[in-house]
Chains A and B, each alone.
Chain A
Amino acid sequence: MSVLIFVETQEGKLKKSAREAASYGAKLAGKLGTDAVAVAVGKIDHSELATLGQQGVSKVLHEENAKLDHFDSRAFTKVVAAAADKAGATILILSSTFNGKALAPRLSVRLKAGVVTNATELANTEGTFTVKKAVFSGKGVANFTFATDKKIITVNANSFPIAKGEGSAAVEDFSAGLADSDFGVKVLHVEKAGEGIPLPEAELVVSAGRGLKGPENWGMIEEMANLLHAATACSRAVSDVDWRPHHEHVGQTGLTISPNLYIAVGISGAIQHLAGVSSSKTIVVINVDPEAPFFKAADYGIVGDAFAVVPKLNEALKKYYANN
């Protein structure tokens, strides 16, 4: 028995979400009195993988196959399933990243293991084994149980703190014996969306809506995001008219995020927007209209004109960072 964690890498480094998943898996393994084993694919140094020991992982299985530098749900499924077999894993942990969520359901079928995506807390192991997640776009919380012996959980970004212990994991080369027929897609090219911090994993997010009047006014929002080292997001209304790119759109039909800080400027707080952001730890709302529904879902609010408030706030942030 063991807990197996699929750790994602990017340009030769472990992703932050991978360390969160590893911390989650190791904690769960500790509660169940078993070991945490990780599996990684593609090009990455063993020295980087060994640092997963700090998150409590004892061993890392590494399939270094250049073909796995691009994601292919079928080939990856074969590798992770083989690793689960080798490690005798009964629980699999993945990150709730786009690829993690493409992989988990395939693994579910392959391993006959129930899956709960988007877990927000460590699984409850006392009594019935349950996993908590937000449902109905944040309007409810469900505790899921499994009818299967094997279980798969994907962990939401920013839901579980990264453990920072001592120790180094043993790294072992491993091969699932992939054949060409295991690959279903051929990646032609990858386009980066720019230099900013990617939204799905961001700890701090600055978001704006139709209250900003036009795309030319986003400079002050980007400036705030730069000062805070935050990602930028927007309402659907804004991405619908192409003021901002689609991948920035959060809400019921866009991304669901749960950063530590979500600052909403000129966004009314429609229920479909709140659905994507209501699990943020701290919410700040800046809106001219004191009746804007968003204030009811906020921790801190400023009733005021964004064009006056945001530049002042940016100055205050500059001062703060100069002194801290």
Chain B
Amino acid sequence: MKFLVCVSKAPDTTTKITFTDNNTKFNEDKVQWIMNPTDEWYALVKALELKEKLGGTVTTVTVGKADVEPVIRKGLAIGADDAVRIDADDVDAYQVAALIADYAKSEGYDIIFTGKETINYNGFMVAGMLSELLDLPYISLGVKLDLNGNTATVVREIEGGEETLEVKTPFVVSCQKGMAEARIPNMRGIMAARTKPLKVVAAASVDTYTTVHHFEAPKERGNVKLISPDNVEELVRLLHEEAKVI
């Protein structure tokens, strides 16, 4: 079985977010990059679990410039066999999906894993676009996956419950909590990662569908109104009369 895991970088979750160039660019100065959490914790580890059980290979793919390589190496340290970096700045979900599709179309992967969404632009888009570009079934928000031959049973989250479905390989699945238990790379893994293959491929020429026109800071909330714990009726009154939410 050949498994492909799409991994992206993301700003560390505690990063202070600021913008430059007249609020048209995200200020990357001093940003600590991590692997996008759901890619690392669930997509990658699920692929590794399947490989350990059924045999095969786990490859990661990342659209990014050389500065993303520490993130890619972390994936190798956690256990991926090899990695591919498509050499381009990631500017928009369509561009990323088109580049990954262009690379993956002739590689014959059985399952393509992605995280639920990236925590930068919170798009939830790359996986769906990739499936359409490759004409594959797509299951979003997978929380469980068993593979038997070329038939997978996948549980996905739906509003107010879960749905169990059957799908034949090849397909694309986005992963969230429940899929797997996050793994921490050990010393052996970190050493091994240094010599595992990281292939850099040139980016095909693809379109961009959307761009950020300008950024804004989120709306500020006023100061908190403190209410005495002995006067909870006052909170109920404020929720009704002032906030008008009940």
Binding site for B on A (CB under 8 A): 70-74, 77, 97-99, 101-106, 108-110, 113-118, 128, 130, 133-148, 184-193, 198, 200-201, 204, 228, 239, 246-247, 249, 252-254, 256, 260-261, 271-272, 275, 278-279, 281-285, 295-305, 308-309, 312-313, 316-317, 319-320, 324
**Do the beta carbons of B217 and A193 come within 8 Å of each other?**
no
C-alpha spacing A99/B11, complex, angstroms: 27
State A135–B17 Cα separation when bound (angstroms): 10
Check A105/B167 contact, CB under 8 A, given A198-B160, A285-B224, A301-B227: no
CB pair A252–B210 under 8 Å, yes or no, is no
Question: A104, B125: Cβ atoms under 8 Å?
Answer: yes
Name B125's closest neighbour in chain A (CB-CB): A105
Docked pose: A257 CA to B14 CA in angstroms: 20
Instruction: Select B221's contact among A77, A136, A191, A283, beta carbons within 8 Å.
Output: A283
Asked whether A105 lies within 8 Å of B227 as measured between CB atoms, the reply is no
Q: How far is the CB of A294 from chain B (nearest CB, A)?
A: 9
User: Judging by beta carbons under 8 Å apart, are A140 and B215 in contact?
Assistant: yes
Asked if B213 CB lies within 8 Å of chain A CBs, one says yes
Interface assignment of B187: CB less than 8 Å from any CB of chain A: no
A140-B17, A253-B177 as given contacts; A302 in contact with B226, CB under 8 Å: yes
For the complex with contacts A128-B213, A142-B212, A143-B214, 5 further pairs of A-B residues with Cβ separation under 8 Å are A105-B132, A114-B94, A300-B238, A316-B232, A317-B236
- Of the candidates A146, A185, A324, the one whose C-beta lies within 8 Å of that of B167 is A185
B112 to chain A, nearest CB (A): 13
Bound together, the chains give a CA A254 to CA B121 distance in angstroms of 15
Q: Is B59 an interface residue (CB 8 A)?
A: no
Q: Are B128 and A106 in contact (CB under 8 A)?
A: yes
> Do A254 and B160 form a contact, CB below 8 Å, given A278-B218, A316-B233, A316-B236?
no
With a cutoff of 8 Å between Cβ atoms, the chain B residues found around residue A278 in the complex are 218
Chain B residues closer than 8 Å to A193, beta-carbon distance: 160-162
B133 interfacial by beta-carbon distance below 8 Å: yes
* Contact of B119 (CB < 8 Å), options: A136, A249, A260, A309: A136
Complex: how many Å from CA A249 to CA B119? Answer: 16
* Contact flags B148-177 to A (C-beta < 8 A → 1, else 0): 000001100111111111110001000001
Interface residue from A191, A252, A309 paired with B232 (Cβ < 8 Å): A309
Check B127–A301 contact: CB distance below 8 A.
Answer: no
Instruction: List chain B residues, Cβ under 8 A from A118.
Output: 122, 124
Q: Which residues of chain B from 1 to 38 have any CB-CB distance to chain A below 8 Å in the complex? A: 11, 13-17, 19, 26, 37-38
What B residues does A101 contact at CB under 8 A?
124-125, 128, 140
User: Do residues A281 and B218 form an inter-chain contact, with CB atoms below 8 A?
Assistant: no
Chain A residues contacting B171 (CB-CB under 8 Å) are 184
Give chain A nearest CB distance to B12 CB in angstroms.
10
Residues of A with C-beta under 8 A to B19? 140
Interface string of B89-102 (1 = CB under 8 A from A): 00001100100000
For the complex, what is the distance from the CA of A261 to the CA of B246, rounded to whole Å? 9
Which of A147, A239, A283 is the one whose CB lies under 8 Å from B209? A147
- Residue among B131, B153, B209 with max Cβ neighbours from chain A (10 Å): B209
Cβ A144 vs Cβ B211 within 8 A: yes
Cβ A142 vs Cβ B208 within 8 A: no
Q: Which of B120, B131, B139, B158 has the most CB of A within 10 A?
A: B158
Shortest Cβ distance from A35 into chain B, in angstroms?
25
Cβ B217 vs Cβ A298 within 8 A = no
Within 8 A of A (CB), among B182-229: 207-218, 221-222, 224-229
Q: Which residues of B contact A (CB under 8 A)?
A: 11, 13-17, 19, 26, 37-38, 41, 93-94, 97, 119-129, 131-133, 135-141, 143, 153-154, 157-167, 171, 177-178, 207-218, 221-222, 224-229, 232-233, 235-236, 238-240, 243, 245-246
- A-B contacts, 23 of them at CB < 8 A, read A74-B135, A98-B140, A105-B97, A109-B129, A113-B209, A114-B94, A128-B213, A136-B17, A137-B119, A140-B17, A141-B217, A142-B214, A143-B215, A145-B211, A185-B167, A191-B161, A284-B239, A299-B224, A304-B229, A312-B229, A312-B232, A316-B232, A324-B240
Provided the pairs A142-B212, A256-B122, A271-B14 are in contact, do residues A302 and B225 lie with their beta carbons within 8 angstroms? no
B128 touches A97 (CB 8 A): no
Minimum C-beta distance from B174 to chain A (A) = 8
Decide if A117 touches B229 in the complex (CB within 8 Å).
Answer: no
Knowing A109-B133, A185-B167 are in contact, say whether A300-B235 is a contact too (CB < 8 A). yes
B209 touches A148 (CB 8 A): yes
**A98 to B38, Cβ gap below 8 A?**
no
Determine how close the nearest CB of chain A comes to the CB of B225; give it in whole angstroms: 5
The answer to whether residues A114 and B209 also contact, given A184-B137, A271-B13 and a CB cut-off of 8 A, is yes
CB nearest neighbor in B for A192: B161
- Docked-complex contact A253 and B37, CB < 8 angstroms: yes
Asked whether, in the complex, the Cβ of A97 is within 8 Å of the Cβ of B159, the reply is yes
Closest to B140 in A: A102
Residues of A within 8 A of B228 (CB): 302
Q: Do A302 and B235 touch across chains, with their CB atoms under 8 A apart?
A: yes
Chain B residues within 8 Å of A296, by CB? 224
A300 to B14, CA, bound (A): 25
